[in-house]
Amino acid sequence: MSGTTASSPGGTTPPSPPVKTVRLTVAQATINFLGAQHSESDGVEQKLFAGCLGIFGHGNVAGIGQALLQAELEEPELLPYVLGRNEQAMVHTAVAYARMKERRQTWVVSTSVGPGATNMLTGAALATINRLPVLLLPADTFADRSASPLLQELEQPYAGDVTVNDAFRPVSSYFDRVWRPEQLVPALMGAMRVLTDPATTGAVTVCFPQDVQVQEYDWPVELFERRVWHIARPLPEARVLARAVEVIRAAKRPLVVAGGGVHYSGAVEALAAFCEATGIPVGQTQAGKGTLVYDHPQCLGAIGSTGTTASNAIAAEADLVIGIGTRYSDFTTASRTAFADPDVAFVNINVAGIDAVKQSGLSVVADARETLTALTGLLAGHHVDQAYVDRYTALDAEWEATVAEVYDPGEGEPGEDSEAGRAAYAHEHGLLTQNEVIGAVNEHSDPRDVVVCAAGSMPGDLHKLWRTRDPKGYHVEYGYSCMGYEVAGGLGVAMACPDRDVFVMVGDGSYLMMATELATAVQEHVKIITVLVQNHGYASIGALSESLGSQRFGTRYRYRGDSGRLDGDFLPLDLAANAASFGLEVIKVSTVAELGDAIKVAKAGTDPVVIYVETDPFADGPSSESWWDVPVSATSTLESTQQARVTYEEHKARQRLFLTPPRTS
């Protein structure tokens, strides 16, 4: 096949030049292609893939695995291979890395067939929901079906061509399967297109049947040339911008809701300039935290169910919400109760149409940085009233005083209904409050260090309380809030930013679910500082359960007792010993001073460290004065549930549909 030419039957057209080809397996061609891909944004080019995370099984060891080995021996920089411990965790690592790199660089993840592949499903959903790029290459059962049924093959009676990998379709931004070598080129091109498209990026899944991976083919050499994928910055339409300007000028109490899209667009400075020029304050989503640093005059901090009282009070009064790069998740909108003005309208700046149209907003489908810069220019001279500035500044100062108090509650009497009383009670029992832990980590970390978290009570408390001093200093995965992201994600953050210390805040429940990548951190000499917060169970869900009348049922890590219920002694889990078994230094602390000292030790070293601290599960963070819609049983024999249902219905009545479009003349 090498060197074939084509000519027309009539013989009048001169023959095309011969196509230069190279004979490689499908797997070798894939690895060579991926190593040559680059992204480009604002003229800066970088490799699209930092490397390939993988776990080999019979589905990929001889195909993709052989190709990776060959690449490592012949061209080590092409696509460096990193062995992970759990397929889901590897996707988290890749996704966290991509987030720190503002979606311009990510990892490939290679797995075996069957369980190795489907272990990635949760990670795929997380990537797609968070709009973060990752390339998943699950192996698949034979295309030629010669040896079926294979080990780990799903034999469905209703279809011969369905495999477990079809489960990736609903959770992927792009899905393809390379049944035969010729399909590789369009599959790879489609994958790159979606990975580098800011509006549709997410998990991109390309399945490789075991037999196809090792088949040979003559590939045009151009396939392996350096290829650069431009990351688009769609510009706002002039007419739409003009309408947005009109709506913003008419607003008396406008509020920006800043989401992750502000970071991905590199719009942090443009946002600050817009807010400083107009005086419009900003509430931040989990992904949008850090878009303004915590002490910026227009920064009201977290918004929504886990927001600050300042953001939420301003949100309740706002007549205009300018959503920038936000998905408006239920945590951001307090399940559609945060924005209470009857005439509230929305302007949504988002590169993704699916987000820009939400809440009946004026839809500006465009890049955040370009749009903000244009708006700042068009709004020159416009500023909100001083009375409004005074109001949000005072609310913000009140919240900052709350943070200062819970960071350092001072001396109190155990049992006293105050932060000092709660802290004193915890100390009496050899525990800290989680608020104190957050305060100590914040105060002993450098401004550029990164805090990482995902699930439990910690993300909400961090959202409210963490003083973010650098745009990239806050990394909480809250699109999927996936227990198990913490350590694996922290690894990805540290790999992406070796010049920053990374603090992984992880609860005992999330640690137990997936601490596996501590082994990978040790293997790769990647320093992460894990703060393991032991409170013997699911404090977050326990508190939620109690507030919903379900009495913390089934949320504590206790023995089944004589009553037949989970109310015996605490389980004797020694998570500090467990962490030490990974070959890590573990420092146990029980006072704020010890915690501070441990952080200093960890920061001074170069190896991963785990700091183990026990906390009081009943000492909650300060209230957001907000709500989250979690339905309560309509009928129950339990009085606690009946009472919770009454409260639920009161909140539910405040839920809004937001169907009114912004009024412009």
Ligand X SMILES: Cc1ncc(C[n+]2csc(CCOP(=O)(O)OP(=O)(O)O)c2C)c(N)n1
| Residue 455: contacted member of Mg ion, ligand X, none (CB under 5 to 8 Å, by partner type) | ligand X
| Residue 458: contacted member of Mg ion, ligand X, none (CB under 5 to 8 Å, by partner type) | ligand X
Q: Which stretch binds ligand X (CB under 6 A): 156-164, 255-263, 356-364, 531-539?
A: 531-539
In the stretch 532-551, what mask flags binding to ligand X with x, by CB under 6 A? Answer: ---x--xxxx----------
Closest to Mg ion by CB, 139 vs 541, is: 541
Closest to ligand X by CB, 254 vs 617, is: 617
Q: Find the shortest distance in angstroms from Cβ 372 to ligand X.
A: 33
Name residue 86's beta-bridge partners. Answer: none
Closest to Mg ion by CB, 364 vs 539, is: 539
- Residue 490 within binding range of ligand X, rule CB under 6 A: no
- List the one residue out of 284, 266, 219 whose CA is nearest residue 19: 219
Write the single-letter amino acid at 160. G
> Is 448 strand, coil or helix?
coil
Q: Find the shortest distance in angstroms from Cβ 528 to ligand X.
A: 17
Torsional sign, CA 281, 286, 288, 289: positive
| Residue 457: contacted member of ligand X, Mg ion, none (CB under 5 to 8 Å, by partner type) | ligand X
In the stretch 435-474, what mask flags binding to ligand X with x, by CB under 6 A? Answer: --------------------xxxx----------------
- List the one residue out of 288, 304, 350 whose CA is nearest residue 324: 350
Radius of gyration of the chain (CA): 27
| Residue 328: contacted member of ligand X, Mg ion, none (CB under 5 to 8 Å, by partner type) | none
Q: Find the shortest distance in angstroms from Cβ 488 to Mg ion.
A: 18
Contact 273, 453 (CB under 8 A): no
| Residue 81: contacted member of Mg ion, ligand X, none (CB under 5 to 8 Å, by partner type) | none
Closest to Mg ion by CB, 457 vs 550, is: 457
Distance (Å, whole) CA 474 – CA 92: 16
Contact 395, 313 (CB under 8 A): yes
- Residue 507 within binding range of ligand X, rule CB under 6 A: yes
Distance (Å, whole) CA 82 – CA 61: 14
Q: At what angle do helices 457-465 and 386-407 cross, to 10 degrees?
A: 130
Closest to ligand X by CB, 52 vs 167, is: 167
Distance (Å, whole) CA 243 – CA 505: 44
- List the one residue out of 388, 372, 397, 393 whose CA is nearest residue 298: 393
Q: Find the shortest distance in angstroms from Cβ 287 to Mg ion.
A: 23
Closest to ligand X by CB, 281 vs 507, is: 507
State which residue has the least CB distance to Mg ion: 507
- Residue 482 within binding range of ligand X, rule CB under 6 A: yes
Q: Find the shortest distance in angstroms from Cβ 485 to ligand X.
A: 9
Closest to ligand X by CB, 60 vs 510, is: 510
Q: Find the shortest distance in angstroms from Cβ 119 to Mg ion.
A: 24
| Residue 206: contacted member of Mg ion, ligand X, none (CB under 5 to 8 Å, by partner type) | none
Residues forming the site for Mg ion (CB under 5 A): 507-509, 535, 539
Write out 371-422 in H/E/C secondary structure.
Answer: HHHHHHHHCCCCCCCHHHHHHHHHHHHHHHHHHHHHHCCCCCCCCCCCHHHH
Going by the DSSP 8-state scheme, the letter that residue 479 receives in this structure is S
Contact 143, 131 (CB under 8 A): no
Distance (Å, whole) CA 530 – CA 611: 6
Closest to ligand X by CB, 481 vs 626, is: 481
101, 138, 198, 218, 545 from 174: Cα distances, Å: 21, 13, 13, 26, 37
Q: Which stretch binds ligand X (CB under 6 A): 5-13, 28-36, 108-116, 502-510?
A: 502-510
Q: Find the shortest distance in angstroms from Cβ 535 to Mg ion.
A: 4
Residue 167 structure tokens: 């489960």
Q: Which stretch binds ligand X (CB under 6 A): 56-64, 393-401, 505-513, 605-613?
A: 505-513
- Residue 339 within binding range of ligand X, rule CB under 6 A: no
# chain residues binding ligand X, by CB under 6 A? 17
- Residue 483 within binding range of ligand X, rule CB under 6 A: yes
Per the listing, tokens 């003229």 go with 43
Q: Find the shortest distance in angstroms from Cβ 634 to ligand X.
A: 23
Name residue 302's beta-bridge partners. Answer: 284
- Residue 283 within binding range of ligand X, rule CB under 6 A: no
Closest to ligand X by CB, 471 vs 542, is: 542
| Residue 541: contacted member of Mg ion, ligand X, none (CB under 5 to 8 Å, by partner type) | ligand X
| Residue 481: contacted member of Mg ion, ligand X, none (CB under 5 to 8 Å, by partner type) | ligand X
62, 82, 98, 537, 543 from 618: Cα distances, Å: 52, 41, 36, 12, 8
Write the single-letter amino acid at 122. T
81, 441, 496 from 499: Cα distances, Å: 22, 18, 9
Q: Find the shortest distance in angstroms from Cβ 630 to ligand X.
A: 12
- Residue 31 within binding range of ligand X, rule CB under 6 A: no
Binding residues for ligand X, rule: CB under 6 A, are: 455-458, 481-484, 507-510, 535, 538-541
